[in-house]
Amino acid sequence: MSDMHTTGQEWDGAPPDVDLGRVWRAVATEVWRRQPSWLESRAAKWLGSPGLARALLTTPSLLVAWLISTVVVLGVGAAATVGTGLPLVALLAPAVAGAGIAYAYGPGTDPAWELSCSMPVSDRMVLLVRTVAVFAINAGLGLAASAASGQAAPVTFGWLLPMAAVSALALATATVARSANVGVAAGMAGWAITVLAAQATSGQWSSAITDWALVAPYLIFAACCVAVVIVATRVPKGVS
Amino acid sequence: MNIDIDHLTRKFGRTQAVAGVDLQVGPGVFGLLGPNGAGKTSLLRMMATVLQPSSGSLQLLGRDPASYSQRREIRRRLGYLPQNLGYYPGFTVVEFVEYFALLKEMLPAQIPAAVAVAVDRVELGERANSKLRTLSGGMLRRVGIAQAIVNDPELLLLDEPTAGLDPEQRVQFRTVLRELGEMATVVVSTHLVEDVGAACTEVALMDRGLIVFRGTPDGLRERGVGHSLGDAPLERGYSAVLADGRA
C-alpha cells in the first residue's frame, strides 16, 4: 500500500532533502510507543521473556471480568457457607478453577491461537505459564473465601488437592478435544460425580474434601491428566 | 532455496489434503493457486510450522522445522497470515502488532519503530490507536498483514491476503508484495488469479493435493490459449490446467 510519506513528499513546503516518511515514522514511533504496565514489566523479568509476559496478561480467564465473576461466585459461596454450614466454597472452588484453566489457552478461547502457534515463543510455555497463573490466583481467592467462611482447617485447605485434580482433568480434556467448553464440562462432571459419590458413601457433603483416603487417588489422577497434556501437546518427531 | 519440499503429504483421517508435493522456492513472490479444497491452506500451514506433515521432508530457510531449536529460528524469521486470523477486540492496532512482535522475540528496543513502519505500510496510521472491534473487515485484514511483516520476515506466508480488501487496496497491496519479494520469499495462497498475475514472479496451481502446474504467470496464460472457460487469459490458463489434470 502506498506509504503515507508519499503524500508528505508532495507537500510544496518540505525542503527537498528531508525524507518526510522517515520523519513521520520517527514521530509515530514515539507517539504510538506503549509503556508496559508495572505488572507486565515484572512478569517479563520473572519469565525472562517480554512475549511470554504479554501472553500471560492476555489470558482470557485472567481478565478483569472473569476475576470479578470468580470473586462473586466464591463470595456468595462464603456467605452461604456461613449461613448454612455447608462447605460450599470448598465444593465450588475446584469447579471454578477447572473452568478458568480450560479457558486459559487454546483454539476457540484465544482468538489468534493459530497465529500464536507459529511464534518462536513456545505455545506449550504459554499454556504452562497461563495454567500456573490461573491455578495460583484461583487458589488464593478460594483460600481467602474459605477462610472468611470460618470453616475448620481440613475443609479450608482440603479442596486444594481436588482442585488440582479437577483443573488437570479440565485441561487434559480441553487439550485433547481442542475445546474449552468440553474441558469445562468434563471438569464439572468429574467433580460433581466425585462429590455425590463421596456424599452417598459417607453421608457428608465434605467427605470428598476431608477424606484422607482420597489423597492418593487425587494425586495419581492429576498426574495422569498432566501426562496426557504433555503427550497431546508434544511435537511428533521423525517427520521433517 | 528458502523452501525445499520433498514429497510432502498430509492426511486428515481418510482425507488426503496434500498428496505428495515437491516444491523449491527462492526469493520473490510465489503464487499458490487452486480451487477450494485443493490443499493450499494445508500446505501453507505446514510451511508455517503449525501443522505437522504426515510424511515427506520440509526445509525452510535452510533449517529443519522438526528440530525444536531450528523451528524456533525459522519462526523468528517467519511472517504468517492465516486464512482465519482471530483478533483481540479490545486491542488497538498498535497493541496487536506489538503483541506479535514480542511473540516473535524481536528485541524490545526495536519494536516501537518496527510497529510504526508496519502500521504505516498498510496505511492504518490514522487508525493506529483504534480498538480492533471498531475496524472494518478490510482494515482487520491489513492489521493481519502488518503483524506478518513487522519482523521483516525472510519467509512470508500469506493465506488469502486480499480477502476483504477493496479494489484500490488490493492494487496497493500488490505493490507492497512486490517490494517484499525483492528481499524475501513471499508465498501467497489465493484463488484470485488477478492477484497472481499482477504480483507474482512464479506460480503453482494445486488441485486435489497435488501441484498440477508450476511456472510463470505468462506460462499459465499460454496454457489458456484456445480454451474458452474464463474471462481473462490467466483465468483461461487456470481453467485449462485444471481441466487437463482432471481429464
The confidence score (pLDDT) of residue A12 equals: 62
Paired with B207 in beta bridges are: B210
pLDDT digits (tens, 9 = 90+) for B71-82: 999 999 999 999
List of E strands, chain A: none
Q: Name the DSSP letter for residue A49.
A: -
Judged by a CB distance cut-off of 8 A, whether residue B113 touches chain A is: yes
Assign B183 a pLDDT band (cuts: 50, 70, 90).
Answer: confident
**pTM to 2 decimals?**
0.85
User: How many CB contacts within 8 angstroms connect chain A with chain B?
Assistant: 127
Judged by a CB distance cut-off of 8 A, whether residue B68 touches chain A is: yes
Burial class (CB in 10 A: 0-12, 13-18, 19+), B107: exposed
Q: Which three cell numbers stand for residue A215?
A: 489423597
- Stretches where chain A sits below pLDDT 70 are 1-14, 235-240
Contact in structure between B143 and B97 (CB atoms under 8 Å) = yes
ipTM comes to 0.87
Q: How far is B205 from chain A (nearest CA, A)?
A: 24
Q: Name the DSSP letter for residue A34.
A: P
Spatial separation of the C-alpha atoms in residues B243 and B171, rounded to whole Å: 29
Burial code (b: 16+ CB inside 10 Å, e: under 16) for B115-146 equals bbbbbbbbbbbebbeebbeebeeebbbbbbbb
Assign B118 a pLDDT band (cuts: 50, 70, 90).
Answer: very high
Chain B residues 138-177 within an 8 A CB cutoff of chain A: 142, 147, 169, 172-173, 175-176
Judged by a CB distance cut-off of 8 A, whether residue A33 touches chain B is: yes
Strands B202-207, B210-215: parallel, antiparallel or unpaired by DSSP? antiparallel
Contact in structure between A148 and A93 (CB atoms under 8 Å) = no
User: Strand, helix or coil at B73?
Assistant: helix
Q: At what angle do helices B93-103 and B137-149 cross, to 10 degrees?
A: 30
One-letter amino acid of B54: S
Mean pLDDT of B164-189: 88
Contact list, B130 vs chain A (CB under 8 Å): none
Burial code (b: 16+ CB inside 10 Å, e: under 16) for B179-207 equals ebbeebbbbbbbbbbbbbbbbbebbbbbb
Question: B82, A51: Cβ pair inside 8 Å?
Answer: no
Q: pLDDT > 90: what percent of chain B? A: 64
Contact list, A33 vs chain B (CB under 8 Å): 112
Whether residue B6 has pLDDT greater than 80? yes
DSSP B191-236: S-HHHHHHH-SEEEEEETTEEEEEE-HHHHHHHTTT--SSSSHHHH
Q: How far is A140 from chain B (nearest CA, A)?
A: 27
pLDDT digits (tens, 9 = 90+) for A95-130: 999 999 999 988 878 888 889 999 999 888 899 999
Which of A3, A25, A120 is nearest residue B72 as measured by Cβ atoms?
Answer: A120
Burial class (CB in 10 A: 0-12, 13-18, 19+), A213: exposed
Q: In what order do the strands lie in the sheet with B185-190?
A: B78-81, B155-159, B185-190, B28-33, B202-207, B210-215
Spatial separation of the C-alpha atoms in residues A77 and B147, rounded to whole Å: 44
**CA nearest to B173 within chain A:** A1
List of E strands, A126-235: none
**Nearest of B54, B55, B52 to residue B65 by alpha carbon:** B52
Contact in structure between A198 and A158 (CB atoms under 8 Å) = no
Spatial separation of the C-alpha atoms in residues B159 and B180, rounded to whole Å: 16
**CA nearest to B83 within chain A:** A114
Whether residue B146 has pLDDT greater than 80? yes
Which of A26, A28, A118 is nearest residue B48 as measured by Cβ atoms?
Answer: A118
